[in-house]
Amino acid sequence: MCEPAYFDVVYAINPWMDTAVRPDPRAALAEWKYLHDVFVDLGHQVELIEPRPGLLDMVFAANAAVVRDGAVLVANFRVGQRRAEAAAYHDWFAARGWTKLSQAKCVNEGQGDFLSVGGRVVAGSGFRSEPAGGDEVADYFGCPVVKVSLTDPRFYHLDTAFAVLDETTVMYYPGAFTPQSRELLREQFPDAIIATEPDAVDFGLNAVSDGRHVVLSARAGRLRAVLREAGYEPIGVDVTELLKGGGGVRCCTLDLGDPVAG
């Protein structure tokens, strides 16, 4: 995770950002700290990267890399405002001895668009990451990749419309995907939890699960009830200020290991 020391909205690179509605720095820090402490209280180890001046979106650590089986493929950001983050995260991994470490050649926005589900990766494209990024991820990690396309600009990264709950179960909002992708998701995940548009707009799908606890936006009350009924333990976290930058719980969290460990 990366503390939002420099988080601000002075440009708009997704539909959630409005330069006339800037975040309150203290409130944003408090939201992030609460999320950090939730993970710690659940028994997870949280590593921190030092925020760098001028990198306003560095708090959204999920976009920094794809990490799987001890290997790291650092992001290659589409938008210029975020490209310098790649070097910061590459340096962080290198300094900690991660040896299989490279930067993506294709446009690839990390775990924002590439999410591990058991032995495979679901790869999203349409607004940020390139479709060819899925092939690069498959080659680099030696795993099967399921490619899907996003069609609603509000859900510009896969992790705003699709969440991994455990090694076999996911939840997603069908309206964020093309018809072909919806059919593919139905085939791949027949037991998925299907979210509504309000669930997605409330950033309920921008969630982190350890297979039992699901940490998600406090706004997504209906989805929390559905998760509870399905046997999970949902934990709501306020992300009001962070959402002004287009990010929530999952956006702030780069998973360094097994996506359902814990």
Active-site residue, 213 included: no
Q: Which amino acid is at 156?
A: Y
Residues 44, 157, 213, 252: which is the catalytic one?
A: 157
136 class by beta-carbon count within 10 Å (0-12 exposed, 13-18 middle, 19+ buried): buried
Contact assessment for residue 90 and residue 132, using Cβ atoms and an 8 Å cutoff:
no
Helix, strand, coil distribution of the chain in percent, nearest 5:
30, 20, 50
How many angstroms separate the Cα of 260 from the Cα of each of 107, 245, 256? 26, 27, 11
Edge-first strand listing for the sheet containing 114-117: 114-117, 120-125, 145-149
What six digits make up the tokens of 144?
A: 């099967």
At which residue do the structure tokens 């939890």 appear? 193
Active-site residue, 157 included: yes
5 class by beta-carbon count within 10 Å (0-12 exposed, 13-18 middle, 19+ buried): middle
At which residue do the structure tokens 């333990």 appear? 233
Residues 44, 90, 213, 251: which is the catalytic one?
A: 251
Question: Whole-angstrom Cα distance, residue 196 to residue 66?
Answer: 27
DSSP secondary structure code for residue 146 in this structure: E
DSSP secondary structure code for residue 188 in this structure: H
DSSP secondary structure code for residue 13 in this structure: S
Q: Name the 3-class secondary structure at 212.
A: coil
Other Cβ atoms less than 10 A from the Cβ of 91: the count is 14
Residues with a known catalytic role? 157, 251
